[in-house]
Amino acid sequence: MDDARASGRVETDDGRVTRFVEKDAAHQGPAWVNGGCYAFAPALWAWLPHGPSSLERDTLPRLARAGELVAHRLDGGFWDIGTPQDRERAERRFAE
């Protein structure tokens, strides 16, 4: 993505996520971003903190630091639906 400031940034080494940074407004330039599609084994429950938490801010960075998170890179379009306006724009586009 050309401007990754509003997205979760993903850094990888041979398919393994080495760093996961959620919405870093200070980041400059392009980056690979988290597309928000996940597949987890049941063992994920052991990584989740007790009480309220954020998958992107708490669990995914921990999994990356432990070497337990992998990524699959896809080239192509990305439709952000993180705001109501973005979601409406995507819904109109895909209804065509």
Catalytic (active-site) positions: 23
User: 65: how many CB neighbours lie within 10 A of its CB?
Assistant: 13
Question: Side-chain half-sphere of 30: how many Cα atoms within 13 Å?
Answer: 3
